[in-house]
Structure 1
């Protein structure tokens, strides 16, 4: 065979292979089509990604007058193609939409190549064809429909089930071809619930007591005991501080000090006394407007005053006043309703049915506050902005007894307060503060739930009532999802701040709705909800995962294993302080300044105000829980930021999760960790016990389980090596033991203390130590 014939043969073979491959791809693309195609679960996500940018809710960007997110428009005659319809229910061959998405003609195909949105896959095209064949039935967006309790699914293994949650989960596990894990062992289960309820590891006494309790209700009793501790409120407050963008300074260039911490103390108090969530929200939205409002109710409204404030001269006050209103509106939308309402500030929302008018109607609820855009120069004697709540010593003895103040002076806080005369609100063209357009009146988002003015007043009280109304489809769903996220690391809706069209669909929609309705039926009882989830077999599962399960469900979306995730930044700190015995458990009070690398504040300051220089605290204030660490907005605490803490400059409902070498370096070198290692080592050295028992006890205190034989051998060998190094002066024990301000115990051997300190430091650096598993 000559070369020319060979090349022709190879070319023909290549074409045959390519055609065969494409045929197989097209053939496989139709495999696995659902029996009934759902608009919400199959069609709308594709439309949202590929089509709504040009054919969605945003009238300003809409092409050809075609809107594909509502049936009336999608079924109407096309303006620019005479006699054609985008969708003809039951007749895919007559539907212009199907013709366009199936085309290979670059001048005809949708989405257009210029949009860079990408063509639909063969599978997606088949989905649209089948959906149209089945009648192209549109459905209301799942999150904007009132949740209902579905009947509990039937399951094959009734013995595994602990409560209603498990029926939904086990049914989904079976549907996905997975199987549930066995229950975690008692040591890991205790660590898990202690960290989830209190944010602290279990004490040695708690571990021994739980291990010895073989009663059927041992687990439930432990949950009840933990929920009754004041540390529960501290744990719950951390997430809400992220939502409320709590910080101890104002931000912007001067970034001066402010005193919003009494609000943080109130949040802890509210969770500890198990304030119903509907009341918790009502007070924060409109506590100052309630009949005969007391100072606690007014204090709660500081929720909306935690945002950044400028103190720079030369700013335009109205520009910043509008910025503050925008922040409040976003916080309400994202933190409470779980929607991206802020996308409608400058134009109609591109994906969700929120118009720009809807946005400014919502903003209007906050527009009548006495708050100003600029109040003048810095004043360290007035660490609050108008309107201000003044808290006297008498107030702290009576109605505000939960506030932990070190002195008897008056406190002042920024809170909400209404003007005597109504300020008009206007839709702002392109969102610009000085371009008012149409006048709007206060009204909540109609796509979520109608704002019936016969039931709800056009003020923040009306907004609060609308928010916690049991027919509001979002409020309970969003909070239940946030609690699930706190306990499992991933919400039933992954995009916990976006329940809209671009958000993820719920993995277990019936379970989410069942929990939301049940939560409201039982008085919005937060402790009950937390216990309900913790008592489930779903939560109690071991976190072990087989290679097959990891491949099938790497994110544990379908919950065939227990939660496994690194602790939040605040609780990493709490763990090493608590396990070493250094933790000071004082509840509340002003924020504290622990160890921090020198020069950070000084390098990022305007040179004005009380926070130009970092002045580290001493004594007990060095050993307070992580949630009390002072947060300067322009320079957040570095040890916290390394572990993905929120920098608190805006509402945040879900923290990032990273895993970097810097985190290991923090655990190896942070003075607080090394000090904890030193203090625990000296406590153990002073006890009458052998070195093996000391190492085992340290391991249990830190990792919360007994070490294996292999682990003990490694730690014992390391201790012996380090002791020898200190003995022959290869390392200097005196230098290592100087770390931290906690008093050194000179009555115990330095070499022994230093060697054990190195072992404990190694244990603190284990991945399992700062992981809930």
Structure 2
């Protein structure tokens, strides 16, 4: 017992005496402020105010910051600051020492005891009373009312967006009476529960106004609906209080240095290009040189897969291997860059980053995006045309603001292309097509995903981290996220929403759909002509049925009239045949009396067996013909309607807590901090605000810190397996630092100077010595540089999911090279596998397969095709048993292997020539002597096995059973599952 007591006493003595014996005496000045100074004031002071919060004194603390009031006296659960320090979110890791449990207890005690001050200051006196004004009321109206009484719809001719429009009122008169809430129509309707209409809550995506919001509205009206002159928070010529020059000193936020030249080296024989000199210089610092050049067989296969995503044909391999021209390799690169397959390969890189999918995702229904494929085709065509990256970005971010699509007769192919390009900003998962998930929070998720995709793909910045609070690691204030949101507000307005693909049974159609019906006159004429021909065919098919119906109708009429007494037959027949307006009184009487008995409709005609059989046949043919009709061409586009709702900061990302009004802008740290963001002038006829066009033009300024760097790094990553900055989607504080910063700036500058030519960038990289290296590596180098940061060798890489499938198809006789158009269908088998459907016995490239988020093709998914939630900046690469098993057991792969074998038999001669052909097709090289011997032996054994199997077949089956073909197909199937086929050296 004494031992236990001693330990207890010792423990009590060792606890830091941070709290007064009487907990009620914990005060701000004596107990809390010292803790803030120790842990927090470094970032949260009067000059820096990170998160717009100043913790250097009581006034700053109770004023709060971007997250609103952070301490609520007597209410620990509502005190945001307490949760941040208790959960160890603040101070951020690396920014300061976390508060100890005892220190946290001090702050907890202080808040619980009413947050007292030593000098008796009442905390309530420091809390700024929120004035009710138009900026308090407008967010409420936007959230609860303007979907029916705003920009898009004005039921009862009532607009509730502003005080002026409320006073103007609608059909029933003014919505508000200043100073008289009891007489204000809007309050009467709310109290009576007429507004918002309960039957329209779900289809409108709104919820009933809360008691707190109602109290604020009532108070505002009672006070005469006061308005204050508060301008939107935008960048000005004044110094930015939230971002300083030290924030802009980070390497990624500085413009690329345009004066960098390749380093001068003593020996440069192994360097072919400027980029080689940068790499070689760093290698030599570590005592290394480039690895030996890869052999021609490896180079042609590497180049083909890197630029086209397809293997070279046997003829292409043989031609290159026999080409003695010193520029044979350079000429090969030029041919591949000019190949239509180039666009299909490199479009996939961008489509991954954009989050391309042929369905909406989110909900289990996962509705199909009927025209998303047009964006896929746009990217392929842009890549093949070597559209400058600057133009490529401009069209995707603001294509609707650079063309006039107001006059249907003046729409050109370029107009349509620019609008299709904006599909880049329509690729995020979007479940708001269903009324159940179409309220403001779900819409904000869609917008957040798009901003995330934009930030990661174009800027390599994690903008999403500033949605709820200022970024913890990068200088992106909470404010800047909402400024950027305001840039997109004209097209992505959570209060004026356009629905995506409707979900059958879950949408009542109150909101407009976002499909844009825009097409060239030629396209409309082609559709009309195509459909007119089908209408003629429909009429021809229906004619015999119409004639039979008329015959049956006349026969029925005759039978009714013939059954009448003879003396009235003629009168009744005449009455029924006479036009209604020309009938005498007697004829009117007869027609009224006998018309029901001679009535004859489809139901009556169906009783005739011949008619019923013919109708069934005709209906099927008509259905088939109507299915062939072309719909009015639509585009899944993003377009600005020129009437954006005001943008308010959502405190902590909560749409129910609106903060201050902000205007459009870009991340301040990427500017000089003194240049206002100004909307650009849009094309004549466009309704756009010009905000996104201004954003796009800012992005493609030659000295932009990130645009060229990020894209160059992305291309480098795909060629070398690792970016100069390894984190290709994050150039921020938590991202990787560039291994060769001078090289990155050199390439970025050259990229811009080349006119933003993507093909020229490929050529620069692929003709270098660095790219032509072999994958040979010494043990020492493997230990010193396991990640190949120095680029002292080429990395062995596994083919991507699409490359595996496309390569297997390409070596067979079942390769359909048709480009573009609607996606190829897939089917879900009974065992759950999702498989492609052959089109006329052939398969197109994988980029044309329908990619439904919840029905991903099993082949591609097995080899790491991402699901796009919301996008994929860098694919994972796995090596698992399921991949080999899938290739071994897939019916499609076996069929393709048989087709491959048939092609080999047709093209090659004897068995040894066939083996050589198989190796050239699958590995771009001839077999070694050992491989030839193994292959010959294997084929002999396989033939015997198949010969034995043939004995189990019927005579009829044996007659068509080709043992040699089956053996060769099995051997081909084996090589399609080999490392030499699945990997690029």
TM class by shorter-chain length? 0.7 to 0.9
| Residues 116-265 of structure 1 mapped to structure 2, 5 A cutoff | 140-149=249-258, 150-251=260-361, 252-259=363-370, 260-265=372-377
Partner of 1:443: 665
1:295 aligns with 2:404: no
Following superposition, the deviation at residue 157 of structure 1 comes to 2.9
| Residues 416-431 of structure 1 mapped to structure 2, 5 A cutoff | 416-431=638-653
Structure 1, unmatched stretches of 5+, are 1-59, 81-108, 116-136, 602-613, 739-745
Partner of 1:671: 891
Partner of 2:768: 536
Q: Is the 8 A contact 2:698 2:704 kept in 1?
A: yes
Q: Is the 8 A contact 2:473 2:733 kept in 1?
A: yes
Partner of 1:354: helix, strand, or coil? coil
How far apart in 2 are the matches of 1:161 and 1:482? 23
Q: Is the 8 A contact 2:816 2:844 kept in 1?
A: yes
How far apart in 2 are the matches of 1:303 and 1:564? 32
Q: Is the 8 A contact 2:343 2:384 kept in 1?
A: yes
Aligned in 2, Cα 1:490/1:63: closer, same or farther, shift over 3 Å?
same
Following superposition, the deviation at residue 659 of structure 1 comes to 1.4
Partner of 1:539: helix, strand, or coil? coil
1:751 aligns with 2:963: yes
Partner of 1:104: none
Aligned in 2, Cα 1:441/1:549: closer, same or farther, shift over 3 Å?
same
How far apart in 2 are the matches of 1:232 and 1:331? 24
Partner of 1:55: none
1:332 aligns with 2:454: yes
Q: 1:509 aligns with which of 737, 741, 744?
A: 741
Q: Is the 8 A contact 1:470 1:520 kept in 2?
A: yes
Partner of 1:130: none
Partner of 2:389: 277
Q: Is the 8 A contact 2:292 2:776 kept in 1?
A: no
Aligned in 2, Cα 1:318/1:72: closer, same or farther, shift over 3 Å?
closer
How far apart in 2 are the matches of 1:596 and 1:559? 44
Q: Is the 8 A contact 1:392 1:409 kept in 2?
A: no
Residue deviations 1:376-400 (CA, integer Å, cap 9, x gap): 9525999998332225585559999
Q: 2:440 aligns with which of 303, 307, 318?
A: 318
Q: Is the 8 A contact 1:320 1:373 kept in 2?
A: no
Partner of 1:268: 380
Q: 1:643 aligns with which of 863, 875, 884?
A: 863
Q: 1:525 aligns with which of 757, 760, 774?
A: 757
How far apart in 1 are the matches of 2:252 and 2:46? 16
Aligned in 2, Cα 1:62/1:697: closer, same or farther, shift over 3 Å?
farther
Following superposition, the deviation at residue 370 of structure 1 comes to 6.3
How far apart in 2 are the matches of 1:666 and 1:198? 24
| Residues 250-649 of structure 1 mapped to structure 2, 5 A cutoff | 250-251=360-361, 252-259=363-370, 260-292=372-404, 294-310=415-431, 311-369=433-491, 372=497, 374=499, 378=503, 386-392=513-519, 394=521, 396=523, 408-450=630-672, 452-453=675-676, 457=680, 459-594=691-826, 597-600=829-832, 617-620=837-840, 622-649=842-869
How far apart in 1 are the matches of 2:436 and 2:383? 42
Following superposition, the deviation at residue 422 of structure 1 comes to 2.7
1:65 aligns with 2:41: yes
Aligned in 2, Cα 1:208/1:444: closer, same or farther, shift over 3 Å?
same
Partner of 1:124: none
Q: Is the 8 A contact 1:386 1:414 kept in 2?
A: no
Aligned in 2, Cα 1:385/1:700: closer, same or farther, shift over 3 Å?
farther
Aligned in 2, Cα 1:183/1:382: closer, same or farther, shift over 3 Å?
farther
How far apart in 2 are the matches of 1:690 and 1:616? 34
Partner of 2:294: helix, strand, or coil? coil
Following superposition, the deviation at residue 321 of structure 1 comes to 2.0
Following superposition, the deviation at residue 320 of structure 1 comes to 2.1
Q: Is the 8 A contact 1:198 1:234 kept in 2?
A: yes
Partner of 1:121: none
Following superposition, the deviation at residue 685 of structure 1 comes to 3.0
Q: Is the 8 A contact 2:862 2:883 kept in 1?
A: yes
How far apart in 2 are the matches of 1:229 and 1:155? 37
For the aligned residues, what is the CA RMSD?
3.4
Q: Is the 8 A contact 1:541 1:561 kept in 2?
A: yes
Following superposition, the deviation at residue 79 of structure 1 comes to 6.8
Runs of 4+ in 1 over 6 A off after TM superposition: 68-74, 380-385, 397-400, 730-734
Q: Is the 8 A contact 1:284 1:302 kept in 2?
A: yes
Q: Which has the larger radius of gyration?
A: 2
Partner of 2:949: helix, strand, or coil? coil
1:712 aligns with 2:932: yes
Q: Is the 8 A contact 1:733 1:751 kept in 2?
A: no
How far apart in 1 are the matches of 2:751 and 2:502? 47
Partner of 2:552: none
Stretch of structure 1 that moved more, 584-593 or 544-553: 544-553
Q: Is the 8 A contact 1:493 1:506 kept in 2?
A: yes
How far apart in 1 are the matches of 2:461 and 2:515? 30
Partner of 2:13: none
| Residues 670-709 of structure 1 mapped to structure 2, 5 A cutoff | 670-687=890-907, 689-709=909-929
Following superposition, the deviation at residue 138 of structure 1 comes to 9.3
Residue deviations 1:352-379 (CA, integer Å, cap 9, x gap): 0001111111111112216626579525
Aligned in 2, Cα 1:710/1:509: closer, same or farther, shift over 3 Å?
same
Following superposition, the deviation at residue 286 of structure 1 comes to 0.3
Q: Is the 8 A contact 2:487 2:692 kept in 1?
A: yes
Q: Is the 8 A contact 1:254 1:312 kept in 2?
A: no
Q: Is the 8 A contact 2:766 2:772 kept in 1?
A: yes
Q: Is the 8 A contact 1:600 1:635 kept in 2?
A: no
Partner of 1:623: helix, strand, or coil? coil
Partner of 1:537: helix, strand, or coil? coil
Give the paired residue count: 637
Q: Is the 8 A contact 2:827 2:835 kept in 1?
A: no
Residue deviations 1:720-746 (CA, integer Å, cap 9, x gap): 221111112289799xxx9xxxxxxx9
Partner of 1:246: helix, strand, or coil? coil
How far apart in 2 are the matches of 1:69 and 1:486? 44
Residue deviations 1:453-501 (CA, integer Å, cap 9, x gap): 3765461011101111112100000000000011111111000000000
Stretch of structure 1 that moved more, 586-595 or 432-441: 586-595
How far apart in 2 are the matches of 1:486 and 1:69? 44
How far apart in 1 are the matches of 2:448 and 2:769? 43
How far apart in 2 are the matches of 1:508 and 1:207? 35
Residue deviations 1:391-448 (CA, integer Å, cap 9, x gap): 5585559999xxxx99744332321111232311111111122322111111000112
How far apart in 1 are the matches of 2:293 and 2:501? 60
Partner of 1:497: helix, strand, or coil? coil
Partner of 1:26: none
